[in-house]
Structure 1
Amino acid sequence: MAAKTVVVLDYGSGNLRSAQRALERVGADVTVTANADAAIEADGLVVPGVGAFAACMDGLNKVGARAVLDARLAADRPVLGICVGMQVLFDSGIEHGVEAAGLGVLPGRVEALRAPVRPHMGWNTVERAEGSVLFAGMAEDTRFYFVHSYAVHKTDGLITRTTHGEPFVSAVERGTVSATQFHPEKSGDAGAALLENWLRTV
């Protein structure tokens, strides 16, 4: 059987090559590109992201990401957002008192994480949603790698939570849209298992 094709969207941000390598490790045929047609037509689309919400949105707007996502959602084609690539899928994000519009694929607002130590950096467990596909077959104490100072506290769909100072949404599964606040590409075997689970939905 042919490998599933996955595009890692290149909009000037994110751990593009590490995401590419992690997906190739679990058998995907991966292309890193900003080409809208390729991003729409691929079996799966990954939206990575590091840095500031507003800066990532600037890059996404320049490559027409909203139209790409609209087309994929209309065709029921899976999308996976990672870290800030998850955050930009929500309605808006506020950083340093300035609010920026997100892509609006998921309902919710990205806000500062209320915790004594920020960023939340390092390994942490998750309280998975019942019926989760992403975490299927994993032990309850499985750890993933996080690095972030902002988070979503409320949204719709299958919500997986993690606690650092307070509970926050560490993953969400809603229709063909999946997203993780942590970095599966930096999470070793656990991250590979999650990407393999996602690839099965593609």
Structure 2
Amino acid sequence: MISNTPLVFATRIGLTLFTIFIVLLHMLQPEVTFLYDAMSYYVHGPGGWLLPASLTALGLGSLTLSLELVRRTRGKLGYAGITCLALWGISLLIAAVFPTDPIGSWDKLPSTSGMIHFAAAIVSFIFLVIAVTLLTRKLGNDPRWSTVKKSMVWLAGLTAVSFLLLMVSIVSIFASSGAPLYFGLTERLFIFIGAGWIGLAAAGLRQGS
């Protein structure tokens, strides 16, 4: 087993900071409900700066993983997955720069910043589920990921399922008078499951050169 490269270490730090910042925001703003409210709403409350900081940490951590995978992976399937993983990271950085509109504004015209944030978030979700699907197929055939292969396959499946639930939640806005149904829950499930997969992929990079 090799020691962490700087890029792998950066990925692990990004994932750790993201988790810590989100947990802190849950503690600082309990009024933002876990079931119904998007994590993006934290930007408007106490410690709101932690939200763009968390997205930046996750985005940069994903980008550093994609850079390390470029060094270790070959083939069209691998490169397509790596590209989607990098685009997920870039989309998170865009979402971090442009804050969403305040809570309770689903039935109003969005601001420019709110539109950009929402678009970047949706695009990032799509890129992540594609990246996880493609890279699980690619890395699963590489012996360096053999110790985490089974867990990666399970998390890839859960990422796909949580993505479908998230899309159903978003579409539900057209059948309701307010925010999407259970958007807070489905968004958190999708992002944290996806982040878990990223952590496993980074762990696999330590299995060989």
TM-score with structure 1 length normalisation?
Answer: 0.32
Which structure is higher in RCO with an 8 Å CA cutoff and minimum separation 6? 2
Q: Given the two structures, how large is their TM-score scaled by the length of structure 2?
A: 0.31
More strand per residue: 1 or 2? 1
Asked which structure has the greater CA Rg, the reply is 2
Structure having the larger proportion of residues in helix: 2
